Chain A
Amino acid sequence: MEKLLEEFSLGLFFWQAVLFIALVLLLKKFAWKPILNSVNDREEGIKNALDAAEKAKLEMQNLQADNQKLLKEARAEREAMLKEARDMKNKMIEDAKDEAKSAAGKLIEQAQAAIETEKKAAIAELKSQVASLSIEIAEKVVREELSNKDKQVKLVESMLGEAKLN
């Protein structure tokens, strides 16, 4: 202890105290404050950036979920639309078929009616022709009758027999 006290140099203590305190104050102003502030700012920046990235990631996930949902909805809608279209197509075909069927039925009916009227007309014409033929025959018969009585009777008889057959 005595040796330590003897070693103690007041001059060295004086300079050490003055220079060290000056160094602390100078470094505080010119070094530690700017350095620690810059480091702090940088750390804050990094922290904020990380937070922002985390947020963006969450948002992204949300967006993705939304997208998924939208996609699902769209798919369901497409499905529904396709189904509707298919139904409509079937219905249309069905309708067309029915219409065609009814149209065809009508046409056939008309054709039948036409055939009927044609047939009737044909029969009527035939009848009128038969009548005129009968008159002609009768004329001829009458003329012959006038010449041959027997023959006349016979002819009328045969003619009538034929006519009855019709």
Chain B
Amino acid sequence: MSYGQEGHSDTHSTEEPKVDKKTEIKEYIQHHLQDSYDFNLLSYTSESGEQKHVGFPLLVILWDNGLKMFSSSKFHHGEEVAEVNGNFYKVYHNKIYKVEGLEGDIVLDEHHHATNEKPLDFSITKNVSLIFMVFAILFFMFSKMAKAYKTNNGMPKGMGRFLEPIVLYVRDEIAIPNIGEKHYKRFMSYLLTVFFFVWIVNLFGLTPIGMNLTNNIAVTFCLAIITYLITTFSGNKNYWKHIFWMPGVPVPMKIILAPIELLGTFIKPFALMIRLYANITAGHVVLMSIIGMMFVFHNWLGSSLSFLLAFVLGILELLVAALQAYIFTVLSALYFGMAVEEHHHDEAH
């Protein structure tokens, strides 16, 4: 069995069609964790050594002296240069670079970094298409649930019966204890959306389609920065006072604490970003390595043990999918809670 590596074809062209299994698996995992311009369901190497891809192309949107939109099929899975209105583009390491003419190639510097010009890339990649899908799923699920309440006399119906306890869990166990009865309502929309978004996206990552969103630093960065912005803009006087002029400590300490506290406000969402990214990425790497081990061992004992291990780990990953969504939501709620906390005079600092 063999896996395809589109986007790496330039380095592979000099190798034998059947490469070493360990390297192949490693590269496959790398590839799996990356975004792609095609919606690739599976790739394989045919008998004649030719790479076959099953899937469909997606929309490439570039901003390069004007909007350029074309189908990703023009790249032929990263193997060819795409020509659009006299501009030439090529995919290298999953990024689109501008090249000179149809025969143009990527120019590398001494650090093996491409020096070609990069156009602004707003393509609907595989991951972006997943965002759209999850968007549609969440909107459909919850607007339907909301409608059911109107027609069913304030009682949940169908899927709502399953979703309502989770919504209530977010409200009663995450939002209210961390933010407080008085202010929690303002943050409910964000907390609920982020919880279900991360959860569903994590679950999609476990499907064999292999769409991973939360192991993209851009996605977790985006979520973390929204949490940071909400925290910062809802911070009250008490919150800022605790950052810049910590009450209850001597003046020299206040001066030392201020930069630390200020840095802390950035570190908190930063940790949020890294935690989600690292957990999901690590989970995928381990899970796929163990699945890959089945093909490395190639005997009944090792392969069946790997299968068992992969199965157990798969279940664990299901838990992690929900757990990471929970942690992200709880910590966001905690930061919001700090921002809106009212001052208690008798409290020791």
Contact = CB atoms under 8 A, between A and B. Distances in A.
Interface of A: 4, 7-17, 19-28, 30-36, 38-39, 41-42, 45
Given A11-B61, A26-B139, A28-B193, 4 more contacts: A15-B122, A15-B124, A16-B222, A38-B146
A29 to B, nearest CB: 9
Contacts, number: 118
A38 B163 CA distance: 14
A27 B138 contact: yes
A133 B345 CA distance: 147
How would you classify the secondary structure of chain A's contact residues: helix, strand, loop or mixed?
helix
B128 A35 contact: no
B150 A34 contact: yes
Interface string B128-159: 10011001001100110111011000110000
Nearest to B95: A9
Interface string B201-242: 000000000000100111101110010000000000000000
B315 interface: no
How would you classify the secondary structure of chain B's contact residues: helix, strand, loop or mixed?
helix
Interface residues of B, number: 45
B127 interface: yes
Contact of A12 (B120, B150, B193, B219): B219
Contact of B132 (A10, A19, A35): A19
Interface stretch (B75-83, B184-192, B291-299, B319-327): B184-192
B168 interface: yes
Interface string B274-318: 000000000000000000000000000000000000000000000
B222 A10 contact: no
Contacts of B122: 11, 14-15
List 9 tightest A-B contacts by C-beta distance, closest first: A31-B142, A38-B149, A28-B189, A34-B146, A13-B218, A12-B218, A16-B222, A30-B143, A11-B121
A69 B203 CA distance: 68
Contact of A27 (B125, B142, B155): B142
A21 B226 contact: yes
Contact of B146 (A12, A30, A42): A30
Contacts of A41: 154
A145 B122 CA distance: 192
Given A20-B197, A23-B138, A36-B171, A7 B217 contact: yes
A35 B189 contact: no
Contacts of A12: 35, 125, 127-128, 216, 218-219
A74 B94 CA distance: 96
